[in-house]
Amino acid sequence: MSYAQNTLGASGLAADAKSLNLLKLQAGQNTPGAIKEAAKQFESLFMRELIKSMREATMKSGLMDSPGGDLGADLLDQQFAVQMSGQPGGLSDLIAKQLARQMGGDDAPSNPEKPSLMPLSSLSKASSLAAYGAPSPGSAQGRFVQRHTQTAAKVAQASGLPASYMLGQAGHETGWGQHEIRLKGGAPSHNLFGIKAGSGWTGKVAEVTTTEYVGGVAHKTVAKFRAYDSYEDSFRDYARLITQTPRYAQAAQATGSVQAFASGLQKAGYATDPQYANKLSRAITSTLALQRSMA
């Protein structure tokens, strides 16, 4: 039995602090085999967290929910993570290079034509996400989430709506801040949620061309949208709309599931796009994954 098999157990995945410490010790042996195995295990951990976040974002039926079922799902996630790790050209190769460089010490030769690899701690928060197509903190989505996280958290505390749900929807509606609604002359409307200005709205208005779906067919039309003095005003108005308007009551009570919340908004007529719930679910799920990497 190899050292890795002896320390990591039958699951093949370091899942606790003790196992991680042993994994680091194993990498410290500074042999190609030990470094390769350690890199594979680190990649497995990243994959497990990614799979876990995707599972948590999936709506449950409630018929088979139980502590035993949750344990079984967790064990299954571990096995999927192990099987998907260690592939040629994957994240484990990058981690292995980083470990070999670190184990080589300060006198290890460097290549001036290649940039130095990022610290291993940074790989766990950025490179692992990029390797599997998830957003990175430096992307447009990452910058948008970072910019509005504090405001979303503040409004979430007052309204009860999850900050990640609001951030995901605001990002989806604005193309992660790249297509915000603007007033005549180019000034920002601060409207992050695409809320229209109906007859009862007495505030500022931005009139722009938008896409609406009639019978599943997209049409361009000019519509009036609410305008605010700040992004915080936008978050607060959105929260009031969802939590205090009867038509959105079902969605407001379904915040335990990303898909249920998104479906509730679509059923209530928040948007005319027939694929709105699916698109919104993806935006919120990727926001959740991004927030985990930034934590």
**Coil, helix or strand at residue 38:** helix
> 8 with 40: CB under 8 angstroms?
no
**Total Cβ atoms within 10 A of residue 144:** 22
Task: Please report the DSSP string for 207-244 in residue order.
Answer: EEEEEEEETTEEEEEEEEEEE-SSHHHHHHHHHHHHHH
CA atoms within 13 A on the CB side of 105: 2
Amino acid at 251: A
Q: What is the DSSP letter of 288?
A: H
Joined tokens for residue 138: 């430096």
Q: How far apart are alpha carbons 108 and 127 in whole angstroms?
A: 23
Joined tokens for residue 246: 């009867």
Joined tokens for residue 211: 């896409």
Residues recognised as catalytic:
212, 237
Q: How far apart are alpha carbons 197 and 55 in whole angstroms?
A: 37
Q: How far apart are alpha carbons 250 and 155 in whole angstroms?
A: 20
Q: How far apart are alpha carbons 196 and 212 in whole angstroms?
A: 12
